[in-house]
Structure 1
Amino acid sequence: MADEMDDETREHLKAALWFSIGKIVDEETLRLNTSATPQFIGAFTEMVWTQIENVAQDLESFSHHAGRTTVNTDDVLLITRRNDALHGIMQDFIEKEQATAAKEKNTKIAKGKVVKGRPKK
């Protein structure tokens, strides 16, 4: 992923990440009555960017290993395997999303909007 991204896109994404992290740090420093230097925010941004790149590479590797070209929820759960709390949160989220999707599909079928797996025209 990182190799495929052009420098301009990379810089725009890093700038957006820096801005978001800066806002979060500002809110927390106000709440805690402390301060953070721009150097701290910059270093924190670089650390988060590196983590994002590592996770993206791992997700791509997992999907390729499974013979897929698309990352799916199984790959995300595999990333979280060493963090029990995060894994549980992700598992719960995925299960809720799947239940919602199944419920919506059943509702469409019950209303006659889908015939033999295809939408009515």
Structure 2
Amino acid sequence: MAGYRLITLCGIFFFFTTEVLADSHQLDWKDLTNQQQEILGPLAEDWNVMKLERKKKWLGIAKRYPKMSLKEQHRIQSQMQSWHALTSEQRKQVREIYKKMEQLPAQKRQEIKQRWQDN
């Protein structure tokens, strides 16, 4: 179960790999819009200690969120809550797996992404 959860969370990172630009004034939690805070609520506790690139990624998701289907929105919320529930050690493991996945050839990454989306 825990292994499946870690793989699922790696899939979260893997699925959302688009580069997103965010204004520097939007990088602290207190400076996010009400809508961004509502969407990203499960990440509030960790937001101000997140790395810049991670914040940008989540802000990009928040930007696309209103246009997502209800099913996609539910999935995103569930993933954020799952991430929030992980211990620091579990998060570290997920990050390590993700780094390894980034080093795979593009074809292999695409296969993994497709399998994750199919589940």
TM-score by length of 2: 0.28
TM-score by length of 1: 0.27
Higher relative contact order (CA closer than 8 Å, sequence separation 6+): 2
Q: Which has the higher helix share?
A: 2
